[in-house]
Amino acid sequence: MACKPTSAQGKWIPQDKQQFLEFCKESRKNKNIQLSGQQIDRVCHCALKQAIKSYESFEAANADSIRQIGTTCVDEINKMP
């Protein structure tokens, strides 16, 4: 019986990355913060990189931590020219 691939801190499988990006993009659209589609993509890719460094998988990064990471990335992107 073959083992199903799993994520690890620092190295997530593609399915976890995709789930994270989908969740992040949907949650950003529901925020009161007005971001363009391009800005949402940048925020979510930034947040994904941080989450991969900090958590073992998408499941380990709960909704609150994903939103918090995303907020940090929004702040960073807003500082960019």
Average pLDDT over residues 12-17: 95
∠ CA 28-20-35, rounded to 5°: 20
> Could you tell me if 45 and 5 are in contact, meaning their C-beta atoms sit under 8 angstroms apart?
no
Position 29 confidence tier, pLDDT thresholds 50, 70, 90: confident
Q: Is the pLDDT of residue 48 over 90?
A: yes
> What's the pTM value of the predicted model, to 2 decimals?
0.81
Q: What is the pLDDT of residue 33?
A: 66
Per-residue pLDDT band for 69 (boundaries 50, 70, 90) equals confident
Query: Residue 45: pLDDT above 70?
Result: yes
Tokens of 4: 């199903």
Q: How many angstroms separate the CA atoms of 24 and 19, rounded? A: 8
